[in-house]
């Protein structure tokens, strides 16, 4: 039998085919991981379209009728990037279907999302799941929740395959068509959505669900490089050029790039304090980037700060109200994440963050006006001292919480105005920043 002759052309063809298969495999895997963009497949360039050769159409026979024009199929260049997620949804749904067909009770396992199922290690820098799961089995008592979970999965599949989005509020209203499986209130809908997100191990934006709230505001020495959604051209957004306004963080920040010569990032709890610092161009005199969190920071805000801090090696300082909520909810969520979103904390936390103030000691040192702690404040502080792995890891935080409980008071950022409206700019922040080593971890 004659040997097949191997030519350079054959080798090139085989290599090209193998490379293409490998790229497709790695792409599918990447799209099931966190942050896969909804745009074209990352890292794989689309081949340039070859110019079609013009052909002179042959004249049709006079006796033949002209064929009816067939409309061209509309195709989306963005849809393929989400096919792996859709396949995963179909695969899990198929397993449930097969379980029913053979007479078994179908079930689904979800990570248990609570502080009781997380651990904290400063080497990793965020709350990590311990591994406990909750199982949702189809029974008489769980039939509604089970049905709601499957309907939410079906909605996600539809959004993914049509390259569409739905806000959390819209998803709640869509459920009004689910008859007995509809949600009574949005918190029920949000919980099931988070269960589905945790079940597949992706973020909700990859499933087509987007939040209602803004991602936060940014001002200062930073240029954000985004892309035009139609042309793909780079857009350079200068955060010093918004006048009395600020740049709004988008819901997805994975493809943003940054240019800055700032020395640090200052994250601020309240919009009022942020506006004061912007009004007086504090970012210019201190050479920093200001970020308004607007209370507990959104996922987009946390991811934005994390990506910016990592990309440019910047320290992050946090300025919140001096109360248990500011410490254990706002600051701690920014730094290490939360128990509820423990399956995604790795990406939505800022481990390099440190608390600038307001600390319990600041209330004494700066003679700040204060308010008595409410029962809910005392309860929150005591719960943190007993159950929060982050607080339990740091003695400095335990001491601060105990000091606040003993003092029995709390203070707001705006309390600094007692000494003058711009005291925060002229005295408080310069004095605090002169000793960053004293900041709480």
Assign 347 to helix, strand or coil.
coil
301 found inside a domain: yes
CATH number at residue 130: 1.10.10.10
Entry pTM: 0.76
Q: What is the pairing mode between strands 166-167 and 257-259?
A: unpaired
Q: What is the pairing mode between strands 247-248 and 133-137?
A: unpaired
Residue 8 CA to residue 350 CA, distance in Å, equals: 52
Which residue range is the domain that position 132 belongs to? Answer: 81-210
- 173 flagged as catalytic: yes
Residue that is last in its domain, among 210, 239, 271: 210
21 found inside a domain: no
164 found inside a domain: yes
pLDDT at residue 211, as a whole number:
82
Which is nearest to 155 in space by CA: 166, 145, 144?
166
Q: Are residues 97 and 222 in the same domain?
A: no
334 found inside a domain: yes
pLDDT at residue 341, as a whole number:
81
Two tokens, residue 97: 């279907």
28 found inside a domain: no
Q: What is the pairing mode between strands 353-357 and 209-210?
A: unpaired
CATH number at residue 367: 3.40.1360.10
Q: Are residues 246 and 190 in the same domain?
A: no
Q: Are residues 105 and 241 in the same domain?
A: no
Assign 367 to helix, strand or coil.
coil
Q: Are residues 293 and 201 in the same domain?
A: no
DSSP state at residue 7: -
Q: Are residues 205 and 305 in the same domain?
A: no
Q: Are residues 171 and 304 in the same domain?
A: no
Q: Are residues 184 and 237 in the same domain?
A: no
Q: Are residues 399 and 337 in the same domain?
A: yes
Q: Are residues 380 and 433 in the same domain?
A: yes
Q: Are residues 101 and 221 in the same domain?
A: no
Q: Are residues 326 and 297 in the same domain?
A: yes
Residue that is last in its domain, among 186, 210, 234: 210
241 found inside a domain: yes
Residue that is last in its domain, among 210, 231, 262: 210
Which residues, 6 or more positions from 322, have their beta carbon under 8 angstroms from its beta carbon?
Answer: 357, 358, 359, 360, 362, 363, 368, 404, 410, 411, 412
Number of domains in the chain: 2
Catalytically annotated residue among 126, 173, 282, 317: 173
pLDDT at residue 55, as a whole number:
43
pLDDT at residue 116, as a whole number:
81
47 found inside a domain: no
pLDDT at residue 23, as a whole number:
40
Q: Are residues 399 and 270 in the same domain?
A: yes
pLDDT in tens, the chain (441 residues): 444 444 444 444 434 444 444 444 333 334 444 555 444 433 444 444 444 444 444 444 343 343 344 344 444 444 434 467 888 888 888 999 999 899 899 999 888 888 888 888 888 888 888 878 888 888 888 899 999 999 999 999 999 988 899 999 999 999 999 999 999 999 999 999 999 988 888 888 889 898 877 789 999 999 999 999 888 899 999 999 998 899 999 988 988 999 999 999 999 999 999 999 999 999 999 999 999 999 999 999 999 999 999 999 999 999 999 999 999 999 999 999 988 788 888 889 999 999 999 999 999 999 999 999 999 999 999 999 999 999 999 999 999 999 999 999 999 999 999 999 999 999 999 999 999 999 999
243 found inside a domain: yes
């Amino acid at each position: 039998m004659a040997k097949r002759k191997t030519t350079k052309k054959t080798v090139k063809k085989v290599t090209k085919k193998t490379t293409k298969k490998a790229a497709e495999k790695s792409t599918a895997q990447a799209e099931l991981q966190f942050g896969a963009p909804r745009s074209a497949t990352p890292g794989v360039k689309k081949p340039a379209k070859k110019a079609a050769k013009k052909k002179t159409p042959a004249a049709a026979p006079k006796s033949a009728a002209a064929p009816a024009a067939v409309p061209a199929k509309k195709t989306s260049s963005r849809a393929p990037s989400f096919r792996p997620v859709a396949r995963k949804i179909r695969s899990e749904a198929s397993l449930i279907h097969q379980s029913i067909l053979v007479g078994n009770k179908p079930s689904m396992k979800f990570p248990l999302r609570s502080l009781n199922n997380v651990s904290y290690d400063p080497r990793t820098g965020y709350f990590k799941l311990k591994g406990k799961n909750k199982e949702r089995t189809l029974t008489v008592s769980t039939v509604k929740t089970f049905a709601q979970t499957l309907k939410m999965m079906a909605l996600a599949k539809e959004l993914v395959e049509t390259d569409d989005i739905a806000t959390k509020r819209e998803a709640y209203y869509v459920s009004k068509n689910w008859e007995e499986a509809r949600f009574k209130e949005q918190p029920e809908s949000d919980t099931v959505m988070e269960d589905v997100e945790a079940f597949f191990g992706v973020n909700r934006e990859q499933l087509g669900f987007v939040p209602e709230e803004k991602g936060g505001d940014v001002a200062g020495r930073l240029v954000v490089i985004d892309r035009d959604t139609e042309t793909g051209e780079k857009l350079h957004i200068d955060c010093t050029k918004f006048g009395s306004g600020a740049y709004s963080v988008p819901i997805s920040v994975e493809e943003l790039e940054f240019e800055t010569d700032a020395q640090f990032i200052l994250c601020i709890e309240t919009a009022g304090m942020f506006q004061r610092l912007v009004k007086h161009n504090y970012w210019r005199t201190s050479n920093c980037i200001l970020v308004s969190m607007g209370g507990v920071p959104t996922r987009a805000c946390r991811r934005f700060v994390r990506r910016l801090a990592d990309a440019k090696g910047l320290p992050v300082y946090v300025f919140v109200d001096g109360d248990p909520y500011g410490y254990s909810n706002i600051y701690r969520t920014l730094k290490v994440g939360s128990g509820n979103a423990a399956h995604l904390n790795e990406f939505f936390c800022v481990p390099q963050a440190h608390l600038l103030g307001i600390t319990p000691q600041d209330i004494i040192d700066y003679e700040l006006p204060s308010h008595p702690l409410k029962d809910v404040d005392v309860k929150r502080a005591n719960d943190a001292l007993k159950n929060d792995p982050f607080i339990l890891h740091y003695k400095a935080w335990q001491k601060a919480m105990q000091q606040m409980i003993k003092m029995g008071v709390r203070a707001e950022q705006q309390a600094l105005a007692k000494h003058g409206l711009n005291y925060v700019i002229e005295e408080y922040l310069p004095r605090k920043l002169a000793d960053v080593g004293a900041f709480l971890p």
